[in-house]
Amino acid sequence: MPNPFLGVRIPPEIEQAIIDRMKQTGQSKSEIVIAALETYLDMPSCHQRLTEVEQRLSEVESALNTKKNEISETQSE
């Protein structure tokens, strides 16, 4: 099912800010507006969720490595 269409009128300065962001990031207008709405509506984007999962995975890996080192030290005593 395709995404619903939303047509809105925006002030020229907001349009220019969107165009500037498009040039900076290479994103489409839709991607920029969706990201802005997700932020405004406090809805984490896929990228934000992935970043959070990566951070949590890194913490788990760090804890696992600490435990591995503790076990190795205990076994070598």
The model carries a pTM of: 0.57
The sign of the CA dihedral 60, 66, 68, 71 is negative
Angle at 1 between CA 38 and CA 18, to 5 degrees: 35
pLDDT by residue, tens only, the chain of 77 residues? 889 999 999 999 999 999 999 999 999 999 999 999 988 998 877 778 889 999 999 999 999 999 999 988 888 87
Give the chain as a 3 state SS string: CCCCCCCCCCCHHHHHHHHHHHHHHCCCHHHHHHHHHHHHCCCCCHHHHHHHHHHHHHHHHHHHHHHHHHHHHHHHC
